[in-house]
A and B are shown apart, each in its own frame.
Chain A
Amino acid sequence: MHFVLHRAKKKLQAIIVKVSDWAIFIGIVLIGGLGSSYYMVSVGSALTTRTVGPWKTWTHAGRNDADPYTRAHFARAGRLNLTTEIAQTYLAGHDSKGMRLHSSCVYRISGDQLDARWWSITALNDLGQLIRNPSQRYSFTSDTIAVSQDGTFEVTLARDARPGNWLPTAGAGRLSVSMTLLEGEAIIAGDSEAQAAEINLPSIERVACR
């Protein structure tokens, strides 16, 4: 009786080992396959995105020859982008030092005149929704922004009113800033990283936090 019990125990152990091996195998495959796909679709890589300072853009957004990651990213985001052959939309979720943008802080976005026929900067929350504010300020464009005499500009993201180009951020939590360049020099320059390094985009500095 004792021998039979011992054999059954051994058999059960062998089955458990085999089942756990398969469970580990399936777990690794699921986590590896789905996780890597999710990362490449939501965050992107150097193959699909271009990063300039705090700004990131998907290099083949809206194009017929877009790669599967870009297609999946924009289908998931539910955005309707112009092709990058015409316009490039950069998004920033972090400041120039890599800290997450948050409405509890004040930020200064400053830059030289941008090399584009038309451009705009918009403050949004991290879901891409506009931030409600009584003064109904949501974005500045190359036509509506106040530019200084030397051609530079500054936009302040803050909860309370500020002089100059102020975009209210009160109550938004995590922020993202969208910048669209229509027919910019970057587009004419092409896609290579060397040329991308020459793109002159504004910096985002954290001024203060509460």
Chain B
Amino acid sequence: MADALLRVEGLRTELRTRDGMLPAVNGVSLHVGAGEIVGIVGESGCGKSMTAMSIMGLVPNPPGRVTAGRVLFDGRDLLQITPAELRKVRGCDIAMIFQDPNTFLNPVMTVEAQILETLKQHLGLVGAPGRLRVRDLLRRVRIADPDRVATAYPHQLSGGMRQRILIAIALSCEPRLIIADEPTTALDVTVQAQIMDLLRDLVQESGTSLLLITHDLGLVAESCDRVYVMYAGRVVEQAAAIPLFATPRHPYTVGLLRSALRSDERRSEIYALEGHVPDLTQPIPGCSFCDRCSERLPRCATEAPPAVVLDDATIACWRFAA
């Protein structure tokens, strides 16, 4: 725990909306160890992407603003350093992979030119050594014909190929942490399997840490060592992947896992977690899951549950606070 590469403490990010202030990230604490694959899983609006953006200092302002907390990367608080220092960390020590490669690839630049741009920016690599390095990176993301792909434009490549290019760019400075936000959501399942396999291999090869942000419980189960479950801006449960899926404890995690349909068993009756996420612009004095929870206690409506450490897990639920 002490030697965590990334440690986030009490992070709070607010968005100014028409309906008032919305705490998209509400007191999130998490850590990622060296070489660890950590997942943040949750449904849309739970704050998982906003957490990643806050870590990277990419929250659009306005409407967003990080209002509290610390983001310690290797002991340095990324929220306190200058923009120039942050730019150096970002893309170099911490790289990010997004859902839609099209948004992040320039359609009128060849693959080579785009990777070279990063190499020049962060490593000062240009010319022949740079081009050699590009081929090297393309081979690392298992592209069989790097020469052809290097001279191609993004539209000439498939979605899976484009995502590989993005991963190659992310790897270009040997980052110590990769944050992947829904990296395979836009891909077909067979291509998704290839990309996730590649990410896992790369992490193993290089000792990089990976923070995987996804809504897909299956992806988390297959790839992550440890998992944070988020709901309505808060972490409700944290545990190692195997115990989390085998014996979930927070009622939200329990409900979420029960309602997930899986290809290895037929449910004669589909279980649905009823209700919906509360309106976060309204203050919620108690647990934000309280009105959907079948196990709520009287105090759940009035007091926010503290995060309780139980074995190696953390659960924010009054049922476990006793």
> Do A and B interact with each other, yes or no?
no
B residues sitting closer than 8 Å to A (CB atoms) are none
